[in-house]
Structure 1
Amino acid sequence: MTSYIGLLRGVNVGGKNKLKMAELRDALTKEGLIHVKTYIQSGNVFFDSEESEEGSRRRMEQIISTEFGLKVPVVIRSATEWQSMIESCPFHEEQIAKAQENAVGESLYVAMLAEPLRADVKEKLVSYASEKEECELIGRDVFLLFHDSIRNSKLATYLTRFNEYATVRNWKTINKIADMLPNDVT
């Protein structure tokens, strides 16, 4: 049995893809996912499953499509991968604090991808980095540090327009999710 986090892309944002988390929990539980719980309305789902990551992703997408009539991409991470992502943050506290000085809102985000970026996509993505927005790629995670704002970011826009299986969460949400993971995850 593996503990997973399912990250739904684009639900309850800007009035589109409305999906009540209580209804989603019920539907996922009814279809056999175990220990299902959610965190905030933006589509963060905790669950346990015997299925692989890919099988869990496909299953969640099918349930959302069948039960709610929505086509919602889902990115999955195991609880162990989630902890590893936090531990591997390439930006140091000083860098984050400096970025936060002038940032509007949060400054540190992670774009989580279903698959690692191809070399040509990485190259294009990195070309958008600047003094105001930085990125570091580690496996299937793209760490984004904004010295101004994520709004109108060329990095974030490129990632999410190019890849339907890219979903972004801010660092506070990422850490809150970590706090909610099962205690036996190392």
Structure 2
Amino acid sequence: MSRQVALLRGVNVGGRNMVSMAELRKLLESLGFEDVKTHLQSGNVVYTSGKSPEAAAAEIEAALARDLGVPVPVLARTGTELGEILKANPLGDVAADDALHLVTFLSDKPDAGPIKALDPDAFKPDVFKHVGKEIYVWCPDGVRNTKLSYSFWEKKLGVTATARNWKTVSKLHELATAG
């Protein structure tokens, strides 16, 4: 059994894919997940499971579409993995505002070729770094203004992606590792 975090993409945004957090908790409990907690209204769920994060994400994604009519991608990480993501932070020396410092979570570790082929200067003032199954992004002019959105990475890398700001990732790690 491990504490995990499911990251639902695109729920409760712009009046689309509306899911109450109480309904989301109830859905996960009905799937057998334990100690289910939600954070914010944007599809962040912490739970305990004996399944791998990938298997849990697939089950949650299928249940959302089947039971709630909300077909959205779901990615998951363990609390330990979130701790490693926070510790790795390759942008800690430049990211000065947690709301503008993003972690883009990827469904798979991408081939490094397409990332290496990108010219970092083409995205300035934004900065990005790839580590494992995450892309760290610093958007000093605002998240809405960055070209380095989750959809950019999906198209460029051929993976499913979703992003959370540093403050949210830190809080999810705290919830996933609280004793």
Q: Structure 1 length as normaliser, TM-score?
A: 0.86
Q: Is the 8 A contact 2:110 2:159 kept in 1?
A: no
After superposition, give the CA deviation of every residue in 1:27-59 in whole Å (9 maximum; x if it has no partner): 110121111111011000011111112211111
* 1:117 aligned partner: 110
Q: Does 1:169 align with 2:172?
A: no
After superposition, give the CA deviation of every residue in 1:76-133 in whole Å (9 maximum; x if it has no partner): 100100011001101234x223xx5xxxx93211101111122343245555753310
Q: Is the 8 A contact 2:47 2:176 kept in 1?
A: no
* 1:179 aligned partner: 174
Shift of 1:69: 1.0
Which aligned pairs between 1:2-151 and structure 2 lie closer than 5 A? 2-93=2-93, 95-97=94-96, 100=97, 106-123=99-116, 129-151=122-144
Taking every aligned residue pair, what percent have the same amino acid on both sides? 33
Mapped to 2, the partners of 1:125 and 1:57 lie a distance apart of 30
The amino acid across from 1:27 in the alignment is: L
Mapped to 1, the partners of 2:87 and 2:134 lie a distance apart of 12
Q: Is the 8 A contact 1:128 1:154 kept in 2?
A: no
Shift of 1:183: 3.2
Q: Is the 8 A contact 1:20 1:41 kept in 2?
A: yes
Unpaired runs of 5+ residues, structure 2, are none
Change (3 A) 1:143 1:91: same
Mapped to 2, the partners of 1:125 and 1:7 lie a distance apart of 27
Aligned pair count reads 177
The amino acid across from 2:74 in the alignment is: V
Shift of 1:152: 3.0
